[in-house]
Amino acid sequence: MQSGRFKGAQRSIAAVAVTGAVVAALAGCAQSGGGGGDGGSATSGTVDWWGWTPEQAVAEEYIAAFNEEYPDITINFRQLTIDGYEAAIRPALASNTGPDVFDIAPGAQFVQFGVYGTDLTEKVSDALGDDWEDQLAPIGVAGLTDEDGALRGIPVGSTFAGPVWINQEIFDELGLQPPTTVDEWVSVCETLTAAGVGCFVQGASQVAFDQDTIQAIADTINPGLFTKATRGEAEWTDPDLVKAFATWQRLFDDGIMQKGALGVQQYPDANNAFMSQEYAMVMMGTWYMQFTRPNNMSIAIEAAGVGDAAPFTMTPIPFPAADAEGTPGAMFGDANYGLVVNTKSDVRSAAETFAVWLGTSDEGQQIVANALNDIPSLTSVQPDWDSIELVDPDVQRPKLEELYERAATVSDNRLLPNSELADAIGIAATTLAAGDVTPEEAVKTLQVSAEAAGVVFE
């Protein structure tokens, strides 16, 4: 992902994936988002969609379902790398050759790029009625509404971090139970290592994922304290946060985190290592549910460089508690992404049709739910579990349903609107992991950095 700025962009395996009728080269094909005009037809046209998510196979499902209702609107999806997204979208939006519709994450990225989007409030109200805000997940709407109350992006669905995913087949083969505490985690890692299997893999060079892990640890110690600190409602030097950062350091010192983690990226490195079954555990969020579907997992395994792409059974577990007195399994999240319609687009009306359909219609949101990439924004829609093919439904379905239920209770965000604070958390994480500072030193520096970044503490 990016340096803490859009943790919603954590879902890409392929460097670039393009779907639709026209294949667009990364080196800059002509886009239809030219000069604005009257916006064109709402039922026909060619719409170019840029994003880091969803995966190619999932995007194809969305587009195919949309075309059943709107056959005269062609959607060309261009998937960009996570780390390269902002660099690609910035000049494209500043010019007249950018996409017609594009992904945006809440937080700092929304602040930066939301200004390029049309106000979609009226379109959503037309689709859902005056009570539209009661029908969409509040956590999604809030993150994509600007300070003037304009809805600049339509949330497609939400994602939540906190869970750890395990290779259930490896655990079963070795007779292992998922760890519920860090002490148990150390023991599990020892057993896995003795069996020649890597324990846990994380791309610690992508500091946004480090923030995920530290927030998860902190929430097992004192739920919600990490979020309070990001808002200035608690200081980073709070003893419970010192303990959280010390536990983060312990993951490295006690052999839970793999050697060389600071030189590894979550995508593609850690993801590929888990998908190739080199490691038995990885920390990913609810977006990883999509790989419980056999076809999606096969594609991911092939992308990891494995010739025989036989899917395996993976399941989510609550994040282990820092100690026996802790509470495992806290979650935190936001809208995964919103669809923003470029104000300069010549096919603005068709782009609005697609964004509104995917984010608000029963049909579009059901496809989103069944893809298991996002938890749909339309709160009335749930996955049709009976129609969703899973690698091992008897094992996975109860775990996924439980994950859904837990996500429905989440109120804490994971995306930070203050990118300087996110960077400071990343520095604290990496310096601790490298053993360059103590936890006490790290949080003192973080407190100073937070104040310098403009966080006002009560």
Q: Using the Cα atoms of residue 168, residue 171, residue 177 and residue 180 in order, give the sign of their dihedral.
A: negative
For residue 111, what pLDDT is reported?
Answer: 86
Q: Which domains, from first to last, does the chain contain?
A: 17-157+335-381 (3.40.190.10), 163-330+392-407 (3.40.190.10)
Residue 138 structure tokens = 């509040």
Work out the average pLDDT over 27-40.
48
Work out the average pLDDT over 147-156.
95
Work out the average pLDDT over 193-221.
96
Identify the weakest region by mean pLDDT among 31-40, 365-374, 435-444: 31-40
For residue 123, what pLDDT is reported?
Answer: 97
For residue 7, what pLDDT is reported?
Answer: 37
For residue 12, what pLDDT is reported?
Answer: 31
> Would you place residue 151 in the very low, low, confident or very high pLDDT band (cuts 50, 70, 90)?
very high
Work out the average pLDDT over 419-448.
96
Residues 226-255 pLDDT 10s: 999 999 999 999 999 999 999 999 999 999
For residue 37, what pLDDT is reported?
Answer: 54
Work out the average pLDDT over 270-295.
96
Q: Which residues, other chains included, contact 377 with Cβ-Cβ below 8 Å and sequence gap of 6+? A: 136, 137, 140, 141, 154, 155, 156, 157, 158, 335, 359, 360, 365, 368
What's the Cα-to-Cα distance from 218 to each of 40, 72, 185, 258, rounded to whole Å? 50, 50, 16, 21
For residue 416, what pLDDT is reported?
Answer: 85
**Predicted model pTM:** 0.82
Please check the confidence at residue 291 and state whether its pLDDT lies above 90: yes
Amino acid sitting at position 349: S
Identify the weakest region by mean pLDDT among 129-143, 186-200, 345-359: 129-143
For residue 458, what pLDDT is reported?
Answer: 83
**Among residues of the chain, what percentage have pLDDT more than 90?**
80
Work out the average pLDDT over 94-101.
92
Please check the confidence at residue 22 and state whether its pLDDT lies above 60: no
Q: Name the one residue in this structure whose structure tokens are 């520095």.
A: 427
> Would you place residue 307 in the very low, low, confident or very high pLDDT band (cuts 50, 70, 90)?
confident
Work out the average pLDDT over 110-121.
94
Work out the average pLDDT over 15-35.
32
Residue 143 structure tokens = 């993150």
For residue 16, what pLDDT is reported?
Answer: 29
For residue 25, what pLDDT is reported?
Answer: 27
CB atoms within 10 A of CB 193: 12
**In angstroms, rounded to a whole number, what is the distance separating the alpha carbons of residues 225 and 401?**
27
For residue 14, what pLDDT is reported?
Answer: 31
Rg of the chain in Å (alpha carbons):
21
Please check the confidence at residue 9 and state whether its pLDDT lies above 70: no
Work out the average pLDDT over 270-284.
97
Work out the average pLDDT over 127-153.
93
